Amino acid sequence: MKLPVIKHLTQFIEDNDEDFVIETIETLENLTEVSSLKDEELDVIGELISNMYGALEVQKLVKEGAPKKEALNTFMSRVLGSIDK
């Protein structure tokens, strides 16, 4: 996950609607079923999906009242904490 990408996507959600991101995730998840995709291509798609889910989580925290910067930090702390386990 890349924080700059998540920040950008979070701004996109604020400016537009989270439904765009949800539909994009669904499309990318469907693409992963193409048998001819190489591992590198699947890795890129997986990274995009992860960043989009991250942006949705940050947006959820913002909707619950957290300032955007705090929501981003909270989310990234959770991610890093889960990696350390």
Q: Please compute the mean of the pLDDT values over residues 14-39 and round it to a whole number.
A: 96
Name the H helices within 1-85: 3-15, 18-31, 39-63, 68-84
What pLDDT was estimated at residue 84? Answer: 59
Domain total of the chain: 1
Q: Which of 56, 35, 32 is nearest to 46 (CA)?
A: 32
Alpha-carbon separation of residue 31 from 9, 23, 28, 44 (angstroms): 20, 12, 5, 12
Residue-range definition of the domain harbouring residue 75: 3-84
Give pTM, 2 decimals: 0.88
pLDDT > 80? residue 49: yes
What pLDDT was estimated at residue 78? Answer: 85
Q: Please compute the mean of the pLDDT values over residues 52-56 and round it to a whole number.
A: 96
pLDDT > 90? residue 82: no
SS3 17: coil
Contacts of 60 (CB under 8 A, 6+ apart): none
